Amino acid sequence: MTVILSDYLLEKRQLINEQLIHYVRDYTVPGRLQDAMLYSIEAGGKRLRPILLIATAEAFGAKVDKTMAVACGLEMIHTYSLIHDDLPAMDNDDFRRGLPTSHRRFDEATAILAGDALLTLSSEIIVNDQELNDRERVFLIQELSRASGASGMVEGQMQDMLSEDKQIPLEELENIHKKKTGKLLNFAIIAGAFLGNASDEKFDEMKKMGEALGLIFQIQDDILDVTGDAEKIGKPVGSDEGNRKSTYPQLLGLDGARTQMESYVDEAQSALKNAGVNHTLLSELIHYLSSRDH
Ligand code: GRG
């Protein structure tokens, strides 16, 4: 049966949204903290990470029910990272997903606590999930902690902040992005392959695919920053002047960044083929990530 990607994205997004709200309501008490958690969870977002996790698990023959806790836990960590990233001490942003950021809608302390609570809730729901056995729970929490903490996203964010206002070489930029955005995206793929009982060889190929996917996502994000912002504020497309952080288009030019991204698309597609799974949908997802417009 052929699945149309847009239908798949819509269906899974709805499922994830419902489940996320259900988890937050079930595990927290009504009040200001719960309101702030729900505010950011209900603000939307593409739900790319949980969708990639579910699609990978399904490609390996796993049932969706088995993926829901870890898929939602992953999205909770992503949401917490955005809440904290928007804070005055970090990017100091007023809007996210078209709405006032958490610290603008509530206050700084509440935004910090809502982020903290989403981070810890992610492990709690995985530990309590009856679809998973103990071995699966331990593996998933260990890998998710590695991907999001001091050897993953948080370390990437630290390095990114230290590199602000500096011209850094491409290699360093890639190292930052492999951690800051790549590790969570890669987790989505390896968790899915794990839940689908992938063999060691297939798992390794999927890990390669996940690593390439993280870079594809980031390069396209940088490209959209240039083309999107330029259109919004009337700058000539192709200029990211004023950005305090190094980006792929800054270091390679817009065309160079696109070429670099295409080489990662090829890498991801061939790793996926080598893994020998039912790959049509995942292949379309790689294409979608490299051509997305928001
Ligand atoms: C503060 C601990 C801490 C970490 C922050 C990932 C991150 C680290 C910050 C996000 C800053 C940012 C905008 C990075 C660019 C790539 C990125 C993660 C974009 C947002 O992800 P999407 O496009 O967002 O998946 P939606 O809203 O669709 O969920």
Q: What are the tens digits of pLDDT across the range 139-188?
A: 999 999 999 999 999 999 999 999 998 889 999 999 999 999 999 999 99
85 CA → ligand 1 middle, Å: 8
Residue partners of 196: CB distance under 8 A and separation at least 6: 56, 57, 58, 59, 60, 61, 62, 277
The upper half-sphere exposure of residue 239, i.e. CA atoms within 13 Å in the direction of its Cβ, equals 10
pTM of the complete model: 0.94
89: phi then psi, degrees, rounded to nearest 5 = -70, -15
10 CA → ligand 1 middle, Å: 21
191, pLDDT greater than 70: yes
36: burial class by Cβ within 10 Å (0-12, 13-18, 19+)? Answer: buried
49 CA → ligand 1 middle, Å: 11
In ligand 1, the atom with minimum distance to the C-alpha of 217 is 16
Residue 290's pLDDT is what? 95
Q: Which of 122, 129, 84, 119 is CA-nearest to residue 102?
A: 84
Residue 152's pLDDT is what? 98
Spans of all domains in the chain: 5-291
In ligand 1, the atom with minimum distance to the C-alpha of 87 is 1
ipTM here: 0.93
- Range list of H helices, the chain: 5-27, 32-41, 48-59, 68-85, 102-105, 108-128, 134-148, 153-162, 170-177, 183-195, 200-233, 248-275, 280-291
Q: What are the tens digits of pLDDT across the range 32-69?
A: 999 999 999 999 899 999 999 999 999 999 999 999 99
Ligand 1 pocket test: pick from 52, 82, 160, 243 the residue with the most ligand atoms within 8 Å of its Cβ: 82
Q: What are the tens digits of pLDDT across the range 68-107?
A: 999 999 999 999 999 999 999 999 999 999 999 999 999 9
d(CA 73, CA 136): 14
Q: What are the tens digits of pLDDT across the range 228-264?
A: 754 443 344 444 545 678 899 999 999 999 999 999 9
Instruction: Dig out the tokens for 129 from the structure.
Output: 């999930």
Residue 246's pLDDT is what? 87
Residue 1's pLDDT is what? 62
Which residues form ligand 1's pocket by a CB distance below 6 Å? 45-46, 48, 78, 81-82, 84-85, 90, 97, 153-154, 157, 180-181, 221
- Looking at domain 5-291, what is its CATH homologous superfamily? Farnesyl Diphosphate Synthase (1.10.600.10)
Residue 229's pLDDT is what? 53
Residue partners of 90: CB distance under 8 A and separation at least 6: 84, 157, 161
